[in-house]
Structure 1
């Protein structure tokens, strides 16, 4: 799995914590962007997905909105 993974999250987000724990559990390296502190990155995320909510993951060039373990694994493996 050589795909770059970026997690878009913010403090106080329960599902953001869950997604990071999931990635940690599976030994997946990832970068985190806190959209409450990096508004330009938040706008890029919204433009890419049409969704304002977090967590969102960019895996390679594909996006997963929300914590969906099956979709995350498909994007990592595919």
Structure 2
């Protein structure tokens, strides 16, 4: 089964770490990919963000969030019934 949440990150990104911790605290199953080490994931992220390079990029259901904002992410997670 595909995970409904995917987060594109880089190793030194503090907001990426915070976003992943937030998802873990909520008990949300997610896939995390390091775009600095995975060129295919970087291309996928850039396509989702129309060429953007900022991380984190969080795909939740059919929504794409750039950056980590707790309220925006909580709202997006409603599609999961979370």
- Please name the residue that 2:78 is paired with: 77
- Please name the residue that 2:67 is paired with: 66
Q: Within 5 Å, which residues of 2 pair with 1:28-67?
A: 28-50=28-50, 51-67=52-68
How far does the alpha carbon of each residue in 1:22-64 deviate from its partner, in whole angstroms, 9 at most, with x for none?
Answer: 1111111111010011111111111111321111101112101
Unaligned 5+ runs, structure 2: none
In 1, distance between residues paired with 2:73 and 2:8? 14
Structure 1-normalised TM-score?
Answer: 0.89
In 1, distance between residues paired with 2:77 and 2:21? 16
| 1:74 Cα offset (Å) | 1.0
SS in 1 for 2:33: strand
Segments of 4+ in structure 1 off by > 3 A?
none
Unaligned 5+ runs, structure 1: none
In 2, distance between residues paired with 1:47 and 1:6? 14
Cα RMSD of the aligned pairs, angstroms, is 1.2
Alignment size in residue pairs: 76
